[in-house]
Structure 1
Amino acid sequence: MLSITFMGQTQFLLDGVDVSGQISSKSAAILALILMNSSRQMRRSDLIGFLWGESEDDAAKYNLRFNLWQIKKTLVQADGEPFLLVSKDVVGINPHFSFRCDIVEIEQADPETMDSIGELKHLLSLFRGDFLENCSLHNCDGFLEHIILRRYYLENRKLVVYHRLIHLTYENKLYDDCLQLLSACEEIDPYNEDIVQIRLEILLQRNARREAAQYYQMFCSRLLRDVGVEPSVKLQELSKHLHLQESKEPRGRVLHLEVCTVPSLPGGWMSQVLRALYGCGQVNWADYLTAQQLSDLAYFRPELGECLCAPVPLVRIAEAFMDLICALCAGDSIQKLEIQSVNGAPLDDLSRDVAAVLQMKCGSSLVLL
């Protein structure tokens, strides 16, 4: 049995023995091109065009012959059957050779019609990384373009698998599994409102009303910031349901912060707001920010923790700050957040733009004095 992995680190296992070191990069590329083809075969001239298009004709033919010989010598069954069948014009996979290949399995599957969560999880496990992740062939522009297109295709296939798994785990009330899948999917599909709605519905069913409101507010901020649009009517209706539920319980209090503004310091007002929030000792930062966001804000305010990488782009600090303020204003503990500039100086340009977006998103829950 031959096992071929093209997603992530390229690997060839023949009867459990790793023979990857005996397969050159060009040989691996030949096998990838053939296995990507639905007929599992390709003309020699096409292989030369992809991999030796810049070479002289005789040199290209020789290089192809050498790599085909290398493959046939290495990938052979105990009974002598070679993995490749080579003729004068065509190179193809031997139909009598037992093998598994991740990209073949991915392309043959129909995840949209699959009902087995176990089978879908196995399919998802095949996406170990990018297709031919470490491929760096020189003077093979046509091949590399082909690989990039195939990566886009496989990324879309991965999303289809994620979405099917999310819907099946949700329908079967496997909410912990579903939430993990949602988090992973959101990293590659951050603006999909269908999966946002599923997360909100799970949180509502678990009576995690505060977390649902915070998540919705952060999604709205991200959507407006990155795409420049508001959520769909359907999602906004669900948010109204959130607000209706919140109105049945007592709201929190007013949190008043006093800061000094320094107009010449980019982001100075944001830094002072963070300092005041930290000083009040009433904010559980982990409830509102990811570890990465908290690390980004720590570049402005070291008391928030360790900044894992420096310098941090101002855009990341601004985004984390907006997510924090939006989440605070949408939560249960604070009914209104008041931020007063005690020295009356104007905000710096960056902070002024951030404050304008926050006032639009938070409405009456945020008051700047």
Structure 2
Amino acid sequence: MEVVIMLNLYFLGKTRIEYNGKSLVESFRNKTIALICLLVINRDKYLSRERILDYLWPDSTEEAAKNNLRYNLWLIKKTIGASENSEEFLFIDKEHCGVNMNYSFQCDILDIMSFKPQESNSIESLLKLKNMFMGEFLEGCYYNNCDDFNEIIIFERTRFENFRVQILKRLEELYEEEGNTEEGLNILKEILDIEPYDEDVAAKVINLYMKIGNRASGIMFYNSFRDRLAGRLGIQPSEKLRKKYEELKQSQEPNSLQKDSQEVRIQTICINEVQYFWMADVTGKLFEQKQLACEKRLNEQMLRALGHIRPEILSGIKTDSNAEIPDVQIVNAFIHLILNICKDYKLTILVTGMEDMDAVSAGVSKYLKSSRIAGLNILEN
């Protein structure tokens, strides 16, 4: 049986080098990893040994630097074996070094560098690229006295951040074509996490809120964006964005006179350390909406389950304070309540501090989103 050699290189986030399923990072020095990375990003050309010495051993004597390079090249060749077709990972001669692109290997930064926006028409392929961004290029790495190489690191970090934004923008375009407004909004907000003052992206967010008839959320978003510009940059939104905001304010909310288009909108918050906190907050605010008649949408067992996390909803119902309520029963009762309300109403749940959502609530939120329940929108505020 033929053995297939597998080499995987990851330079975004914590560096990983895996060969046949085994990590090699512990076997390499920091300069060995830097050498591999340097050769990979210059994959289309061979670097002269002299140039490599200038990058990685500029403060060493010529003899010591050459010995260091020879040792590291030997270590790489010794540790990363030839491929199944007898190709070596590196090309090495007396004057130059480089990556042998005939050697079969996978590398996150090479996959990302091959990205071409208009040729990427698959959400699946774009999500795969998006998930490769585990952190900065050579995260946490700094090489003493290697100023030129450190400048390369800074340049590449900026370049890959730009790649990330391009990938996200193309992904948002595809979600918009698919009519998946919720995922489109999430992607736009992810772009704003990277480029927080991008008014074109902010305008797209407002457009999507108008498209789904969620004027209130759009207004809250605009106010937050405006305050960010004023507080951090000392400027106001452009005239173009202000006009978009006026258009938003004049847009019509969904017709609330017809039962099948009535909308309920609640604002919720998260606390990570408190189990069920977000679910309890949602439950309490839904029960406050008297027109929903939440107590009539649940049987007594379900009411008792939700009463475990929101005791005030059990007014008039006798309970055994010592009785244990299984987690799954609480979760099922909560999901049943949401599903039942969405049969009659459009329910929008705005979440503040989603990154602080407790683990159980996060799992339930993920389930509700993936279920694509008609009439339900869970949006980050």
* TM-score class normalised by the smaller sequence: 0.5 to 0.7
In 2, are the aligned partners of 1:124 and 1:161 still within 8 Å (CA)? yes
What whole-Å deviation, never above 9, does each CA across 1:299-345 have from its counterpart, x for those lacking one?
xxxxxxxxxxxxxxxxxxxxxxxxxxxxxxxxxxxxxxxxxxxxxxx
Aligned to 1:163, which of 144, 162, 169? Answer: 169
1:118 to 2:131 alignment? no
Match of 1:12 in 2: 17
Q: Which amino acid aligns with 2:101?
A: P
TM-score between the two structures when normalised by the length of structure 1: 0.64
TM-score between the two structures when normalised by the length of structure 2: 0.63
1:39 to 2:44 alignment? yes
- Tell me: CA distance 1:232–1:62, structure 2 relative to 1, closer, same or farther (3 Å): same
In 1, are the aligned partners of 2:214 and 2:253 still within 8 Å (CA)? no
In 1, are the aligned partners of 2:48 and 2:97 still within 8 Å (CA)? yes
SS of structure 2 residue aligned to 1:50: helix
CA distance in 2, matches of 1:109, 1:78: 26
CA distance in 2, matches of 1:211, 1:72: 57
Match of 2:150 in 1: 144
Aligned to 2:93, which of 65, 87, 92? Answer: 87
Aligned to 1:181, which of 177, 187, 190? Answer: 187
1:247 CA drift (Å): 10
In 2, are the aligned partners of 1:35 and 1:41 still within 8 Å (CA)? no
Q: Which amino acid aligns with 1:203?
A: Y
Match of 1:344 in 2: none
1:233 to 2:229 alignment? no
In 1, are the aligned partners of 2:53 and 2:66 still within 8 Å (CA)? yes
Stretches of structure 2 lacking an aligned partner (at least 5 in a row)? 1-5, 257-348, 357-381
Following superposition of structure 1 onto structure 2, how do residues 20-59 of structure 1 map, counting pairs within 5 Å? 20-59=25-64
Aligned to 1:61, which of 57, 60, 66? Answer: 66
Relative contact order (C-alpha < 8 Å, sep 6+): which is higher? 1
CA distance in 1, matches of 2:77, 2:254: 73
CA RMSD in angstroms comes to 2.6
1:128 to 2:134 alignment? yes
Stretches of structure 1 lacking an aligned partner (at least 5 in a row)? 251-285, 294-369
- Tell me: CA distance 1:227–1:292, structure 2 relative to 1, closer, same or farther (3 Å): farther
Aligned to 2:206, which of 175, 191, 200? Answer: 200
What whole-Å deviation, never above 9, does each CA across 1:106-163 have from its counterpart, x for those lacking one?
1122124422211111111221111111323222121111111111111111111111
In 2, are the aligned partners of 1:83 and 1:97 still within 8 Å (CA)? yes
What whole-Å deviation, never above 9, does each CA across 1:209-259 have from its counterpart, x for those lacking one?
111111111111212222333323332222112222479999xxxxxxxxx
Moved more, 137-146 or 220-229: 220-229
Aligned to 1:218, which of 216, 224, 233? Answer: 224
What whole-Å deviation, never above 9, does each CA across 1:157-181 have from its counterpart, x for those lacking one?
1111111111221222111211221
CA distance in 1, matches of 2:77, 2:47: 16
CA distance in 1, matches of 2:130, 2:118: 13
**Matched residues, percent identical?**
32
Q: Which amino acid aligns with 1:170?
A: E
CA distance in 2, matches of 1:166, 1:287: 21
Q: Which amino acid aligns with 1:75?
A: I
SS of structure 2 residue aligned to 1:68: helix
